[in-house]
Amino acid sequence: MKIQEFIEDLLGPDLPIGVRAYDGTVMGPADPPATLVIRSKDALRWIATSPGEIGFARAYVAGDFEIEGDIHAFVELHKRLPNIKLSPRQWWMALKLIGLHNLRPVTPPAEEAKPQRDRHSRASDAAAIAHHYDVSNDFYRIILGPSMTYSCAVFESDSDPLDQAQAKKHDLICRKLGLGQGDRLLDIGCGWGALSLHAAKHYRASVVAITVSDRQVRYARDWVRREGLADRVEIRFQDYRDVDDGPFDAVSSVGMFEHVGVARMSEYFSKVYALLRTGGRFLNHAISRRPFQTEALARSGFPNRYVFPDGELIEAGRILSSMQQAGFEARHLENLREHYVLTLKHWCRNLEARWDAAVAASSIGRARVWRLYLAGSASRFVGDWIRVNQILAVKTEVGHGTSGMPLRPDWDGSPPPGRNRETAKYGLVLPAKRSSPPPPHSALL
């Protein structure tokens, strides 16, 4: 029996994508947007022994499935297929294809992480960060581009270059935080240092940037040195729980909160609150899930096993509530979901354009993980299954309530809204004077 016979019985003869298999099967439209290549029986064995998303992911990472053509089109079309439930006859057909002797567990690819028992302990957090970030700086440079920024960019239009959109995001954050010369900024989860450098270079802030990735620390310190900003930016290998040299005028957390987890969310926001001075601003930029979605990130699913070990996506309302319970006054929430779709597609194009270099900088399995992860994430943002929100909050003085916020902030205009420390009563403020104008959005840093 050929694979074609089984697929036609399961899905019908008219497929939206192409299928090509090791046994000579060729199916689908004449010029499909994407083609699934089944390279061996092992591909079917992965699916049979690990049904669902994780089985497909393992087969793809191992190289037993291949996706030719537009992977975004493949993911979108794959979502439209009906939920597959095999009948007893179809199970028998599958067994004939695979062979009963092949129905035994398969060792997962080396790129798969084992679930941690003690979730979000210091040790498990360090292991999760190392799994995801301590791959190769060259690998990340290929995907992220010169900005080395691993978070959602902000686009004026879908034709904007990625580096320009990332610089606009950095500037937007600095404006929301109201940074001015000499302000102390704590950048939690600083990555390779791009936001910290932007704040120091263009807003003359004094920045403490922390990460628990050794490779990121070394890269960021070298970047700071090359930019001549060692007097304004300090890069630390440090867990946020160990920071004890507040108060800071502002705190940013961009793309790090997903690693905190529900159980430690309250502790995290309380720590940030304690590190801020009264009137200080906090911006939390994080991916969230939809309200009433029961699953944050399945511990047995593809993202948690291959990309974000122990990552958790929390609904924005719950994040907001926890921030306020810690004492913050929430001032603004912005959903950048469509911007992340564009960002992920840029990253995926970068990866595919320099595929051989990406494989050389990591491994064929790691490159495959990232291709599937980037396309799958873009699809989930398109479908509004996940979102990315910037929440801006202020540490106000109890009983006084002065926020230091402009009445109508214009974060995209000029001049930027600074913080006036000589705040008038009732919270009325004027934009703080700045010694030099902010950079154009096209600037890299």
Query: Domain residues for 283?
Result: 122-427
In a shared domain, residues 39 and 89: yes
The model's pLDDT over 218-247, given as tens digits with 9 standing for 90+, comes to 999 999 999 999 999 999 999 999 999 999
State how far the Cα of 374 lies from the Cα of 75, in Å rounded to an integer: 11
In a shared domain, residues 406 and 268: yes
Assigned domain for 109 exists: no
Assigned domain for 423 exists: yes
| Residues of the chain with confidence (pLDDT) below 50 | 415-445
Position 294 scores a pLDDT of: 58
Domain of 329, CATH number, reads 3.40.50.150
State how far the Cα of 24 lies from the Cα of 131, in Å rounded to an integer: 39
Assigned domain for 377 exists: yes
- The helix/strand/coil state of 324 is helix
Q: What is the pTM of this model?
A: 0.87
Provide the strand spans (E) within 122-221.
Answer: 184-188, 206-211
State how far the Cα of 388 lies from the Cα of 330, in Å rounded to an integer: 17
In a shared domain, residues 136 and 56: no
Write down the residue that tokens 């690998």 correspond to.
Answer: 139
In a shared domain, residues 85 and 138: no
State how far the Cα of 88 lies from the Cα of 162, in Å rounded to an integer: 50
Assigned domain for 434 exists: no
**Lookup: tokens for 8:** 């036609």
Position 1 scores a pLDDT of: 79
Let me know if 318 is exposed, middle or buried by CB neighbors in 10 A (0-12, 13-18, 19+).
middle
Assigned domain for 362 exists: yes
Position 341 scores a pLDDT of: 98
Nearest in space to 276 (alpha carbons), one of 425, 418, 427, 396: 396
In a shared domain, residues 95 and 143: no
In a shared domain, residues 170 and 250: yes
Q: Last residue of some domain: 45, 71, 102?
A: 102
In a shared domain, residues 73 and 147: no
Position 443 scores a pLDDT of: 32
In a shared domain, residues 377 and 251: yes
In a shared domain, residues 182 and 230: yes
State the pairing for strand pair 386-394/329-335.
antiparallel
- Are 262 and 296 contacting, i.e. CB atoms less than 8 angstroms apart? yes
Judge if the upstream peptide bond of residue 51 is cis by omega within 30 degrees of 0.
Answer: no
Assigned domain for 440 exists: no
The total of structural domains in the chain comes to 2
State how far the Cα of 208 lies from the Cα of 186, in Å rounded to an integer: 5
Assigned domain for 438 exists: no
Assigned domain for 285 exists: yes
- Are 347 and 143 contacting, i.e. CB atoms less than 8 angstroms apart? yes
The model's pLDDT over 65-92, given as tens digits with 9 standing for 90+, comes to 999 999 999 998 777 665 667 788 888 8
In a shared domain, residues 306 and 265: yes
In a shared domain, residues 147 and 206: yes
Write down the residue that tokens 């994040």 correspond to.
Answer: 319
In a shared domain, residues 380 and 303: yes
